[in-house]
């Protein structure tokens, strides 16, 4: 059976792509953020996941306002990155796992999670940069297959935190019922607090971000009590990307422990945050032994 | 549902804005493509006409003013692609919206750590 071995969350700001392209990882500005991935690399090298389910928000590369799905999932054999208009390098294509995608789709819709299915899907920086951060030396061939899942963060009304947590739970159940022996890591990308638009642009709320990181580990249900207005007030208008962290956490249904976490302000306009959680003691894991 | 209006300094892109800014955002979405960015630079007026921009949209584009573009219904994710044409990043547009210099805005970001 497939099992979810852990969950990773990370900020995904586009300037990470610029920093990688320039080789700025060791500069004082970027080092605290890139160093956060060293324990992640060790964990990935040890655990060797087969598939990454990446939960993120599209920023106007694949989806426009003509058709804006609240939740969408890729079911393609291959996903391409593309020009987003402001100049970060386009990364190599990603190999999908369409069988796992269709299993998740079938199971989710069966359980009343009716999401949009995409056999063509461009993946933007919010997808590509976290995978690049996980596998910086991958070159043209990524060592994991991928299943992209998007949550609308562009056009309000956005789904509630509670709904996003349930989405993660549904993905977790679907993966656990997949008959192939796969190790799956769930990735939630975005945040933490930031605001790009309006006269409050530049707003970062360290206290709230640290609270969220604690709750993601210890009490994720507490985060599902926040309304979107409260999240915008506390985390800024783009801080709603916290949804991807909450969905990731919903997918971890075993005993969850922290492998590593880092919080550093600022990266670009954002509270930069990275957290890796291991998901242990699943019934499937015991059955497999 | 949530009332998302009235959060100080914080525009929230809801149905009203989506309706008002559709043509403007559609044009900015087209700037994902380098050929479209070049066509805009070649002839701004013709490019705006092609996308059916209103007089308010056109004035906001001409102004290069982010707050005015948001007021005209622009969404920040698509506007970022417009800003990209001029090589501007989110610190540049943050500084413009808050009336700070770029260095002041960067210091402000760092001060919140």
Q: pLDDT tens, B15-33?
A: 999 999 999 999 999 999 9
Q: Any idea what the CATH number is for the domain that residue B56 is in?
A: 1.10.700.10
Tell me what pLDDT residue A285 has. 47
State yes or no: pLDDT of B70 exceeds 50: yes
Does B5 fall in a domain?
no
Does B79 fall in a domain?
yes
Does B103 fall in a domain?
no
pLDDT, averaged across chain B: 97
Does B33 fall in a domain?
yes
Tell me what pLDDT residue A87 has. 84
Active site residue A125: yes
Tell me what pLDDT residue A283 has. 53
Does B55 fall in a domain?
yes
Question: Tens digit of pLDDT for each residue in B73-96?
Answer: 999 999 999 999 999 999 999 999
Fold of A3-288: Protocatechuate 4,5-dioxygenase; Chain B (3.40.830)
Q: Which two tokens stand for residue B15?
A: 């149905």
Q: What is the C-alpha radius of gyration for chain A, rounded to an integer number of angstroms?
A: 17
Q: Using CA atoms, how far apart are residues A72 and A149, in angstroms rounded to an integer?
A: 6
Tell me what pLDDT residue A289 has. 41
Does B96 fall in a domain?
no
Tell me what pLDDT residue A282 has. 56
Buried b or exposed e, range B66-79, using 16+ CB within 10 angstroms: bbebbebbbbbbbb
Tell me what pLDDT residue A281 has. 65
Task: Look up tokens 């426009």; give the residue.
Answer: A64
Averaged pLDDT in 10-residue chunks for chain A of 289 residues? 97 95 96 97 98 98 98 98 93 98 98 97 98 96 98 98 98 97 98 97 98 98 98 98 98 96 96 96 49
Q: Report the residue of chain A nearest B78, measured CA to CA.
A: A60
Q: Which of B11, B75, B81 sits opposite A154 (nearest CB)?
A: B75
Pick left, alpha or beta for residue A256 (phi over 0 → left; psi -120 to 50 → alpha; otherwise beta): beta
Q: Domain range spanning residue B60?
A: 15-85
Per-domain boundaries in chain A: 3-288
Active site residue A59: no
Backbone angles phi, psi at A155, to 5 degrees: -115, 110
Q: Do B11 and A265 touch (CB under 8 A)?
A: no
Tell me what pLDDT residue A86 has. 87
Which positions in chain B touch A204 (Cβ < 8 Å)?
109, 112-113
Q: Report the residue of chain B nearest A204, measured CA to CA.
A: B112
- Number of domains composing chain B: 1
Q: Which two tokens stand for residue B78?
A: 């698509």
pTM, two decimals, is 0.97
Kindly give, in sequence order, each residue whose CB lies less than 8 Å from that of residue A29, ignoring residues fewer than 6 positions away. none
- The answer to whether residues A190 and A242 touch, using CB atoms and an 8 Å cutoff, is yes
């Amino acid at each position: 059976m497939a099992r979810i071995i852990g969950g990773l969350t990370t900020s995904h700001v586009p300037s990470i792509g610029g920093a990688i392209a320039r080789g700025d990882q060791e500069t004082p500005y970027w080092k605290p953020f890139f160093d956060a991935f060293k324990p992640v690399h060790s964990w990935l090298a040890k655990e060797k996941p087969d598939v990454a389910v990446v939960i993120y928000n599209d920023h106007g590369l694949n989806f426009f306002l003509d058709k804006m799905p609240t939740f969408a999932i890729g079911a393609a054999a291959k996903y391409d990155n593309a020009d987003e208009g402001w100049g970060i390098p386009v990364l190599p294509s990603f190999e999908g796992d369409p069988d796992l995608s269709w299993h998740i789709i079938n199971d989710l819709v069966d359980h009343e999670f009716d999401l949009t299915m995409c056999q063509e899907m461009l993946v933007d920086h919010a997808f590509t940069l976290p995978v690049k951060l996980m596998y910086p030396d991958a070159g043209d061939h990524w060592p994991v297959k991928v299943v992209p899942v998007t949550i609308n963060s562009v056009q309000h009304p956005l789904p509630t935190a509670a709904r996003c947590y349930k989405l993660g739970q549904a993905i977790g159940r679907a993966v656990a019922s997949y008959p192939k022996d796969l190790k799956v890591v769930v990735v939630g990308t975005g945040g933490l607090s930031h605001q790009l638009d309006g006269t409050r642009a530049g707003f970062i709320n360290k206290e709230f971000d640290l609270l969220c990181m604690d709750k993601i580990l210890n009490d994720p249900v507490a985060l599902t009590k926040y309304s979107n207005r409260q999240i915008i007030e506390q985390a800024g208008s783009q801080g709603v990307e916290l949804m991807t962290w909450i969905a990731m956490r919903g997918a971890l249904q075993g005993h969850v422990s922290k492998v590593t976490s880092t919080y550093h302000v600022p990266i670009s306009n954002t509270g930069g945050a990275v957290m890796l959680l291991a998901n242990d003691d699943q019934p499937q894991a015991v059955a497999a032994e | 549902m949530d009332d998302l209006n009235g959060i100080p300094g914080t525009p929230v892109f809801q149905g009203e804005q989506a309706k008002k800014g559709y043509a403007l955002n559609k044009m900015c979405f087209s700037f994902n493509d380098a050929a479209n960015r070049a066509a805009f630079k070649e002839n701004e007026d013709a490019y705006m006409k092609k996308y059916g921009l209103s007089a308010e949209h056109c004035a906001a584009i001409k102004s290069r003013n982010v707050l005015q573009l948001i007021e005209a219904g622009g969404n920040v994710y698509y506007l970022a692609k417009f800003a990209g044409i001029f090589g501007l990043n989110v610190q540049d547009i943050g500084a413009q919206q808050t009336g700070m210099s770029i260095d002041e805005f960067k210091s402000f970001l760092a001060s919140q750590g």
